[in-house]
Amino acid sequence: MEQNSSNIKIHKARIIGSFFLLAFLLYGIGRNIFESEILAEKYIGALLIIGNSIIVLLIGIFLRKFLLKFNAFVANFYLFSRIFEAIALASIVLNMFPNVIASLDLGYFLGMIVLGIGSIPMCLILLKHRIVPKWIAIWGIVGYAVFAFGFLMELFGNKWSMYLLGLAGLWEIYFAIWLIIKGGKIID
């Protein structure tokens, strides 16, 4: 059942938008600090990475609640992708334990692949129900497909992700700002 987009409101839209932006900062700064040789900085980096995982999980929980209005499978699949991403990104902190050596990149690559694949159906819901302007939804679909492909290629040794993550990364920033400005009110 397709709903009239003028009756749709994204619950906690400003919080979700803020969380998208906060996740970029927490993981980006945390990962950089975590790779320090100074133990105190490594601990701070680990805390920021764990904070990112909590924020990523909350994005999934909040958007699942919204997506359930349209498609339960997509809502649950999106939440699963965010749970997987949160765990995969946090796996780097296992390196804090003695005698544990975890790849600094494998969890990141896997988390980004699952995020990309899980976000495509979410963007399709945004498109189908006119929740965002059509061009924003299409941007998300294409951006996440290219994004997931780039990180999949990383698993095969091709250093493509840095060249293919821009569309989805910029989409997340734009979508976050859109959520904050619109406050979840959909206007035709």
Residue 5 has pLDDT above 90, yes or no: no
Q: How far apart are CA 54 and CA 19, in angstroms?
A: 10
Residue 96 covered by a domain: yes
Integer Cα distance of 20 and 100 in angstroms? 30
Q: How far apart are CA 23 and CA 17, in angstroms?
A: 10
Whether the predicted pLDDT of 167 surpasses 60: yes
pLDDT at 100: 79
Range of the domain at 127: 8-182
Q: Domains in the chain: how many in total?
A: 1
Of 173, 55, 159, which is closest to residue 109 (Cα–Cα)?
Answer: 159
The answer on pLDDT for 3 being more than 80 is no
pLDDT class for 7, splitting at 50, 70, 90? low
What was the pLDDT predicted at 184?
66
For the record, the structure tokens of 131 come out as 């929740």
Question: What pLDDT shows up at residue 186?
Answer: 62
Write out pLDDT tens, residues 76-124.
Answer: 999 999 999 999 999 999 988 888 787 888 999 999 999 999 999 999 9
End-to-end CA distance of the chain: 18
Q: Cα separation of 133 and 149, whole Å?
A: 25
Amino acid at 40: A
Residue 115 lies in a domain: yes
Residue 1 lies in a domain: no
User: Mean pLDDT over residues 155-164, rounded?
Assistant: 87
Does any domain span residue 187? no
Residue 82 near residue 62, CB atoms below 8 Å:
no
Q: Is the residue at 188 inside a domain?
A: no
In this predicted structure, the answer to whether residue 166 has a pLDDT above a threshold of 80 is yes
pLDDT at 2: 45
- Count other C-beta atoms under 10 Å from residue 169's C-beta: 13
Residue 29 counted as domain residue = yes
Chain centroid offset of residue 58 CA: 10
Is residue 61 assigned to a domain?
Answer: yes
Predicted confidence at residue 188, as pLDDT, reads: 46
Using a cut of 0.85, tell me whether the model's pTM lies above it: yes
Domain assignment present for residue 3? The answer is no
Q: Convert the pLDDT of each residue in 13-60 to its tens digit.
A: 999 999 999 999 999 999 999 999 899 999 999 999 999 999 999 999
Q: What pLDDT is stored for residue 102 in this prediction?
A: 77
pLDDT for residue 135 is more than 90 = yes
